[in-house]
Amino acid sequence: MLSEILEFAMLFAFGFSWPFAIMRTYRAKRVDGKSPAFSIIVIVGYCCGIAAHLVEGTKLWLVPVYLLDILLVSTDLALYFHYLPKGKTRGETLA
């Protein structure tokens, strides 16, 4: 039971931080310093957490928390691509 509470606390802490990142991106309408690779890795990690619970058949009540966190990270990732300067590629700067 303690491991479930600690895992929930971890998911809550990570999930609690994403709305702030989303609002910052939305208000600034800039994505300087953001890494889409980082967001994708986080999403893959959450998917692995879900898969582990599905394979074990335990702690399934945590799956919706994982899904909520995936939704938040995906929202931030979508904003990244929305606000990415048009025509900008890796290593290129805008004048």
Tens of pLDDT along 73-93?
999 999 999 999 876 655 555
Q: Mapped to the 3 state alphabet, what secondary structure does the chain carry?
A: CHHHHHHHHHHHHHHHHHHHHHHHHHHHCCCCCCCHHHHHHHHHHHHHHHHHHHHHCCCHHHHHHHHHHHHHHHHHHHHHHHHCCCCCCCCCCCC
Q: Is the pLDDT of residue 6 over 90?
A: yes
pLDDT in tens, 10-40: 999 999 999 999 999 999 999 989 999 999 9
pTM of the model: 0.84
pLDDT category, 95, cuts 50, 70, 90? Answer: very low
